[in-house]
Structure 1
Amino acid sequence: MTLRTGIDALYERYLRWQVKHIPRHVAVIQDGNRRFARNQGIETATGHRLGADTTEQVLDWACDLGVRHITLYTFSTENFRRDQGELASLFALFREKFTAIIKDERVHRNRIRVQMIGDRSLLPDDLLATIDAAEEATGAYDDYFINVALAYGGRNEIVHAARSILGEVRQGALDPAAITPDTVESHLHRGAPIPPVDLIIRTGNDSRTSNFLPWLANGHESAVYFCAPYWPAFRKIDLLRAMRVYDQRMRLKERLAR
């Protein structure tokens, strides 16, 4: 063990000792794969693959720490503007990772339900088929939840929810006077319900939430942690620092409630 590794391990334990309140739902904006690749002088596709490796590590850490819901901002509606070669590489990587979920013993041992949120009409059929298979393979699980935001945009999400609600009103299944915030929330995603976001983490040294989960995050005033490392360089220390921000907020709320 190097001196740096030993210091990091001690610091991790110190941070974990500081965090008494564990967020139920953490949402992550995984930013910086391309900039990391550029800085390292490697292919963009390699940067995305290294980012996917980091995602698997972070999911393990979060599960070990007791975070039950993780939402990953993996691919936005704006990302479709990228060149066709990068899109093809990304979609192939997504297919590979969703396929791996089906046989991943960690997923089944920990009873992790995996689902996609986003506009399915924008994704290629072969990727959708793989996503459907992963969702079906984990659909009965309810210990932990991973929500993968693909072809996702927050305003687009609310528009789709509004259309769904209007459809029920036209059919006579819903009284407009009975529409509440809970009604809107129930129409935001298909599949397993997603609770309000407790903590948003954004990597890549950019201080904005980029149209991510506006109803569940901004609407519920979640804690936000911005950090400098690009996503492939994100460490457990960074996750614990983010959770410390949430913990500090919860401690303040407890003091004010006394």
Structure 2
Amino acid sequence: MKTRTWLEALYERVLKNQIRYVPQHIAVIQDGNRRYAKNHGIQKADGHRRGADTTEMVLDWASELGIRHITLYAFSTENFRRDTGELDALFRLFKLKFRAVIEDPRVHRDKIRVQIIGDRSLLPPDLLETLQAAEAATREYSNYFVNVALAYGGRNEIVHAARSILREVKAGTLAPDAIDADTVEGHLNRGMRIPPVDLIVRTGSEYRTSNFLPWLANGHESAVYFCAPFWPAFRKIDLLRAMRVYDQRMRMKERRRIPAE
């Protein structure tokens, strides 16, 4: 175990030295909590708890590595189809973690702003109250941004933006001819102005982006990194490997911009 830890630390340093371009916005699809629980003979709720622990570590790594924006796909609109017991356990876990945000000294020391994206009307009122309290406690911070996608669906996000734009057109405050890409981005996620995604990371050996941030990610041709570990087993090495993919993409773009002699 000690040898492996030493080797991993060495490999982390090697990976860091390979990365010149650091993505400013990473979107993470945290997949595999339930499969991790099944493989380890534990309850689904325990798998989700271990996944939440991994999330906290990843946020620390992101801050250390200079990643200013991270968006976490924590709960999709499709996840509401799960059984009541699992949903109740998940909502309790979300409440616990967001309550902790309010008192976490790291959040206030590093000036981390927490924001929720997704369809809030679908969430239980007590959970929504806790989420709003966490947002309020960090509203003035701007060093780092953690966006948590709850009750989120990519197409639903665009539908809500379209409705918001139509309301302004109907009210006469927005001319139809003035609608452009910037207008749409300004109406996504309740006008939060989240920057384009540089890199999508998905765990659990799933090779799809699951309609996650379609405008900000797919629309901006973000780099994508798929990896095998289930989310609770995700390591700093996996994050650095993902960042290396983004770095390689940026270096390729750089080479294309340099004219041949």
- TM bin, normalised by shorter chain, reads over 0.9
SS in 2 for 1:244: helix
How far, CA to CA, are the matches of 1:145 and 1:193 in structure 2?
Answer: 12
1:245 counterpart SS class: helix
1:118 aligns with 2:112: no
How far apart, CA to CA, are the structure 2 residues paired with 1:186 and 1:225? Answer: 27
Instruction: Tell me the distance in 2 between the aligned counterparts of 1:52 and 1:144.
Output: 19
Distance 1:126 1:115 in 2: 17
Q: Distance in 2 between matches of 1:42 and 1:76?
A: 23
SS at match of 2:189: coil
Q: CA deviation at 1:2?
A: 1.1
Q: Is the 8 A contact 1:115 1:191 kept in 2?
A: no
Deviation at 1:91, TM superposition (A): 0.3
| CA-CA distance at 1:50 after TM superposition | 0.0
TM-superposed CA distance for 1:190, in Å, is 2.3
Partners of 2:186 and 2:192 within 8 A in 1? no
Distance in 1 (CA, whole Å) between partners of 2:152 and 2:189 is 11
Specify every segment of 5 or more residues in structure 2 that has no aligned partner in the other structure, as ranges: none
1:193 positional shift? 1.8
8 Å CA contact 2:33–2:44 kept in 1: the answer is yes
- Displacement of 1:192 after TM fit? 3.5
User: Please, what is the CA RMSD of the aligned residues?
Assistant: 0.7
TM-aligned CA distance change 1:254 to 1:16, over 3 Å = same
Residues in 2 aligned to 1:2 and 1:104: alpha-carbon distance in whole angstroms: 31
Question: Which residue of structure 2 aligns with residue 45 of structure 1?
Answer: 45
Residue type of the alignment partner of 1:53: D
Task: Report % sequence identity.
Answer: 73
Alignment partner, residue 239 of structure 1:
239
Aligned length: 258
Once residues 77 and 59 of structure 1 are traced to their aligned partners in structure 2, the CA distance between those partners, rounded to angstroms, is: 24
* Cα separation, 2, equivalents of 1:153 and 1:94: 18
Other-structure match for 1:96: 96
8 Å contact from structure 1 (residues 110, 143) kept in 2? yes
Q: Name the structure 2 match of 1:174.
A: 174
SS at 1:204 equivalent = coil
Query: Is the partner of 1:188 in helix, strand or coil?
Result: helix
Any conservation in 2 of the 1:115–1:135 contact (CA below 8 Å)? yes
Deviation (angstroms), 1:74: 0.1
Tell me the TM-score normalised to structure 1 length.
0.99
Distance in 1 between the 2:11 and 2:132 partners? 41
Residue 151 of structure 1 aligns to a residue in which SS?
strand
**Secondary structure at 1:115's aligned position in 2?**
strand
Residues 128-186 of structure 1, C-alpha deviation per residue, up to 9 Å, x if partnerless? 00001000000000000000000000000000000000000000000000000000000
Aligned match of 2:145: 145
User: Within 2, Cα distance between the matches of 1:191 and 1:149?
Assistant: 15
SS at match of 1:71: strand
What are structure 1's unaligned runs of at least 5 residues? none
TM-score by length of 2: 0.98
1:190 partner letter: R
Q: Distance in 1 between matches of 2:98 and 2:162?
A: 29
What is the alpha-carbon distance in structure 2 between the residues aligned to residue 36 and residue 156 of structure 1?
A: 29
Q: How does 1:128-207 map to 2 (within 5 A)?
A: 128-190=128-190, 192-207=192-207
Tell me which stretches of 4 or more aligned residues in structure 1 moved more than 6 Å.
Answer: none
SS at 2:121 equivalent: helix
1:56 equivalenced with 2:56 (yes/no): yes
